[in-house]
Structure 1
């Protein structure tokens, strides 16, 4: 992404987090992106493209948050990955997964559904590779999805439960 594309995607992500996917009009999205309407449409020529751009940006931020190495910490453990997902939920997604919210707002949009599936499977596959259990990527996807879906209801209790289930893998 170029600097302008990243700036737009970050602003759109913030707007969709704050206002949902149905509410913000194009002026709100333009203001959030911090660019002219012409520039917004140059980089994201439709509302669907705006949503996809925001979610692709969020996907990269999420991967960085969950999997970026901590200097001197060595390899990540499954418990550390769960803690990082929980931290993300607490700070970035206390009301639930933005990818699921986007699909719920436009259930007929196949590109959104594909992006949701890609996001979830990539997170699970990367975690499975990091902890050396590639054959359990689907189990990890289930575990992480359970954590992210129950976080808004249970908070830290969801994290503790996820860790208990992770010990059984």
Structure 2
């Protein structure tokens, strides 16, 4: 086992290894031994950082939340016009869906696997989805749209993620963007 220079480095290495394994194989299919091996640390070090698998799952979801938020925000912030900012969310989705390792939304996947049986995971997923909803609502407000438009645009993005994962294509992003354009136009933005 290779030693890692700082506890923060060790923690990040564990989260990164778990994220890759959970996302590609599924949370239930990955044991702590597999995470230990992928991170290149001892089982003792793993449990020092994460006393339970649930703690590790929540940390992985925290990483995914940051990745999602940074990705969407960067795509939206690159656009100046408020109406186009609303649509840039779907452009981000198209880019993401085209990634070779795309396996759907890690939050939806985690909720599907564990949400009914794990209140901590369910709450983490709900908090992430609520954060995205607030973000879309703020974009709608900045564009001068009605409050009802935010949830409609967010549900299009959520549905596109699930559809893209199942279909294995980026088409869902294009269809969701077209639907979003119609909703934005109907709202008079």
Q: CA deviation at 1:73?
A: 4.7
Work out whether residues 90 and 174 of structure 2, in 8 Å CA contact, stay in contact via their aligned partners in 1: no
Corresponding position of 2:177: 163
> What do the CA deviations read for 1:39-83 (whole angstroms, capped 9, x no partner)?
211221111111111111111111111112688654661222111
Q: CA deviation at 1:147?
A: 1.0
Corresponding position of 1:117: 126
Please tell me whether residue 138 in structure 1 is matched to residue 151 in structure 2.
Answer: yes
> What is the CA RMSD across the aligned residues, in angstroms?
2.6
Please tell me whether residue 79 in structure 1 is matched to residue 91 in structure 2.
Answer: no
The runs of 5 or more residues in structure 1 that have no matched partner are: none
Please say which structure displays the higher CA radius of gyration.
2
Q: CA deviation at 1:130?
A: 3.4
Query: Which of these residues, 87, 104, 108, is aligned with residue 96 of structure 1?
Result: 104
> TM-score, with normalisation over the residues of structure 2?
0.77
User: Equivalents in 2 of 1:120, 1:12: separation in Å?
Assistant: 21
Please tell me whether residue 6 in structure 1 is matched to residue 22 in structure 2.
Answer: no
The runs of 5 or more residues in structure 2 that have no matched partner are: 1-6, 185-189
Please tell me whether residue 44 in structure 1 is matched to residue 57 in structure 2.
Answer: no
> TM-score, with normalisation over the residues of structure 1?
0.85
Q: CA deviation at 1:31?
A: 2.0
Work out whether residues 104 and 164 of structure 2, in 8 Å CA contact, stay in contact via their aligned partners in 1: yes
User: Equivalents in 2 of 1:69, 1:163: separation in Å?
Assistant: 14
Work out whether residues 87 and 177 of structure 2, in 8 Å CA contact, stay in contact via their aligned partners in 1: yes
